[in-house]
Amino acid sequence: EAGVAQSPRYKIIEKRQSVAFWCNPISGHATLYWYQQILGQGPKLLIQFQNNGVVDDSQLPKDRFSAERLKGVDSTLKIQPAKLEDSAVYLCASSPAVRGYEQYFGPGTRLTVT
Amino acid sequence: AQTVTQSQPEMSVQEAETVTLSCTYDTSESDYYLFWYKQPPSRQMILVIRQEAYKQQNATENRFSVNFQKAAKSFSLKISDSQLGDAAMYFCAYFHANAGGTSYGKLTFGQGTILTVHP
């Protein structure tokens, strides 16, 4: 069974530029999560999708971050414009529909904003 | 709001020895899940062990076991016969399902403990 895929693995941009990350969850997983992990800290949930609907986006800085999950499969997280404090690892995870506690993580994207 | 605290920023152990990582959490819920995740330098978050709060028996996975003290809200991880490959950042995490059932909920992570294994 293929795991959660993410791309790119690394991205370096200048502040005020925009960037997008892509995630492909495990086949059949209805729930998809985006977490932000700042260096030296634990991951923090940004947004959670159930199929193509948003379940929780209370921690998403909506003035600059946006996310979508078209057709309930792949998802894209965008930052526009980026700030220095957005430098972090962005982790995508997915889980089966009725077992939200069973989350599988992708390898993450390391973003550096200069 | 639920919080998870790992009070040991760093721990070290000799190869083949035993080490215990500590975790405490704060919640008013009675039904939840607790986890230990391992994150090596590759950044891949790997599930080590899971404990359901309604189970009194401590979870065990090969060399990994937990000491779950529900009343004390404590959840420690014991690694026996430590191996070089165990070196990583370890995160304690908490999950409580929202009102919609176990489909909905989020993982709340602690700050992590860096484990070093000496040969």
Nearest by Cα to B12 from B93, B75, B86: B86
Residue B19 to residue B89: CA distance in whole angstroms: 14
Tell me, yes or no, if A99 comes closer than 8 A to chain B by beta carbon.
yes
Q: Alpha-carbon dihedral of residues B5, A39, B49, A7, nearest 10 degrees? A: 150
Tokens 């709001």 correspond to what residue? B1
Contact B111 A42 (CB under 8 A): yes
Mean pLDDT of chain A: 94
CATH number for B21 = 2.60.40.10
Tell me, yes or no, if A100 comes closer than 8 A to chain B by beta carbon.
yes
Tell me, yes or no, if A20 comes closer than 8 A to chain B by beta carbon.
no
Architecture of the domain whose range is A5-98? Sandwich (2.60)
* Structural domain of B88: 3-97+109-114
Residue B108, pLDDT score:
93
* Domain definitions of chain A by residue range: 5-98
| % of chain B beyond a pLDDT of 70 | 94
Residue A1, pLDDT score:
66
The DSSP line for B53-115 is TT--SPPEETTEEEEEETTTTEEEEEE-S--GGG-EEEEEEEEEEETTEEEEEEEEE---EEE
Domain count, chain B: 1
Mean pLDDT of A31-54: 93
pLDDT digits (tens, 9 = 90+) for B62-106: 999 999 999 999 999 999 999 999 999 999 999 987 655 566 778
Does B14 have pLDDT greater than 80? yes
Residue B86 to residue B67: CA distance in whole angstroms: 19
Contact A41 B93 (CB under 8 A): no
Does A73 have pLDDT greater than 80? yes
In a domain, B51, yes or no: yes
